[in-house]
Amino acid sequence: MSVTSRAWLQVIGFVLVATAPLAGQQEARSPMPFVPLREPHFVPAAKADFLKGDDRVVGVSENGVSKAYQPSVLAFHHVVQDSLKDVPIIATWCALCNTPLVYRSDVDGKKLTFERAGNRGNNFFMLDTETGSHWQQIGGDCYEGPMKGKRLTMVPFLYTTWGEWHEQHPETLVLVPEAAYKSGYDFMNQRISTVAYGSDQKPTRELVQEKDTRLPNYEQVIGIEIRDSHKAYPVSRLRKEPVVNDKVGSTPVLVVYAAASDTTTAFSREIGGRTMTFRAAGSGTMQDSETSSKWNTYGECIDGKLKGQKLERVIPQPGSWFAWAEFHPDTEIYTASAH
């Protein structure tokens, strides 16, 4: 069977299916067809009265521009075509596995236009309208078509609360929900808020070819990818150990969980040619063992010998275990610190 045939067989039966059915429940469907959002509208933070402080957002701050996107809006459209000044991007959300990811939408200098095309495994794939190539949302790899073998470049983003994002980026712009799609947004908001995180329920129709049983299917994980190495950090573990000194492949990393906003950030622990070791220091701060300098959860040194220094960011990728493991079968799992 050809790759094309397999892909379309995987799509059959998934058209407009938007949720993973819970045990004993009927499969829910979106009240309207999914469509990409290609002309998004934004307002300044002061006019975003449709958001409350504890609402979740996907935030991006790059190239001198900060923007916030609501999960329900991203989940319905799957793809929001946007830009950060002269940098074209797509903000995406998979409604099957609740994975938000942001990518540059240009490849080899050519700007591409994306839309959801179907599901491949328990994750959606996109079609670019310029070449008809197929791109997986998780990983951003083109697996079929003229662009096969290419990969989208991920843009740093943060999954956090609106209150936290607004505090860190007071100048942020906020995506405005489109009135015409309100029922679709409401549907997705209900779905996202009722996912049985931590459970071992079966995802959708179990398109996973070989289930990875090391964690429950719906365990929330933070995936870290550095070059060819992958590691998953269960959020349940991070809640017990909010400052993690670890390695992904050969790269020393720091993973930080802030309980107040349920936000995970990640960084390289290497700075100035040496590897740093961190510990929680109270009031949402950390202290390094090498210089006793104090750091915030965004990798910025706020007091001590290294004041003003910043750790290099690593992009934390939130999602459900079954999807991370399916597309990163080589992944390790963080268990407990050796420090």
Q: What is the pLDDT of residues 118-152, one digit of tens each?
A: 999 899 999 999 999 999 999 999 999 999 999 99
**Pick from 7, 39, 207: nearest CA to 127:** 7
Residue 201 maps to a domain: no
Mean of pLDDT values over 280-291? 95
User: What is the domain count for the chain?
Assistant: 2
Q: Are residues 187 and 228 in the same domain?
A: no
At a CB cut-off of 8 Å and minimum separation 6, what does 42 contact? 67, 173, 174, 175, 176
Q: Are residues 40 and 97 in the same domain?
A: yes
pLDDT at 185 over 50: yes
Q: Are residues 42 and 118 in the same domain?
A: yes
Q: Are residues 48 and 156 in the same domain?
A: yes
- Select from 177, 193, 209 the last residue of a domain: 193
- Select from 175, 193, 211 the last residue of a domain: 193
The torsion defined by the Cα of 289, 293, 297 and 302, in degrees rounded to 10, comes to: 180
Domain that holds residue 158: 3-193
Residue 182 maps to a domain: yes
Q: Are residues 254 and 121 in the same domain?
A: no
- Partner residues linked to 82 by β-bridges: 89
At a CB cut-off of 8 Å and minimum separation 6, what does 303 contact? 293, 294
pLDDT at 3: 35
Residue 198 maps to a domain: no
Backbone angles phi, psi at 115, to 5 degrees: -155, 155
pLDDT at 6: 35
Q: What is the pLDDT of residues 88-100, one digit of tens each?
A: 999 999 999 999 9
Assess contact for 222 and 266: CB atoms under 8 A: yes
Helix (H, G, I), strand (E, B) or coil at 191: helix
pLDDT at 220 over 50: yes
pLDDT at 203: 76
Q: Are residues 250 and 308 in the same domain?
A: yes
Residue 241 maps to a domain: yes
pLDDT at 209: 57
Residue 339 maps to a domain: no
For the chain, report the end-to-end CA distance as a whole number of angstroms. 50
pLDDT at 240: 96
Mean of pLDDT values over 308-332? 97
Which DSSP string corresponds to 100-163?
EEEEE-EETTEE--EEEEEESSSSEEEEETTT--EEETTT-BEEESTTTT-BPPBPP-EEEEHH
pLDDT bucket at 210, cuts 50 / 70 / 90 = low
Cα(159)–Cα(132) distance, integer angstroms: 30
> Is the pTM above the cut of 0.85?
yes
Q: Are residues 151 and 283 in the same domain?
A: no
**Pick from 277, 304, 281: nearest CA to 290:** 277
Q: Are residues 226 and 271 in the same domain?
A: yes
Which DSSP string corresponds to 156-188?
P-EEEEHHHHHHH-TT-EEEPPPGGGHHHHHHH
Cα(21)–Cα(307) distance, integer angstroms: 50
Q: Are residues 166 and 17 in the same domain?
A: yes
At a CB cut-off of 8 Å and minimum separation 6, what does 72 contact? 177, 185, 186, 188, 189, 192
Residue 270 maps to a domain: yes
Backbone angles phi, psi at 139, to 5 degrees: 95, -30
Long-range contacts of 6-10 (CB under 8 A, 24+ apart): 7/118, 7/120, 7/125, 7/134, 7/144, 8/118, 10/118, 10/119, 10/120, 10/121, 10/207
CATH number for position 293: 2.102.10.10
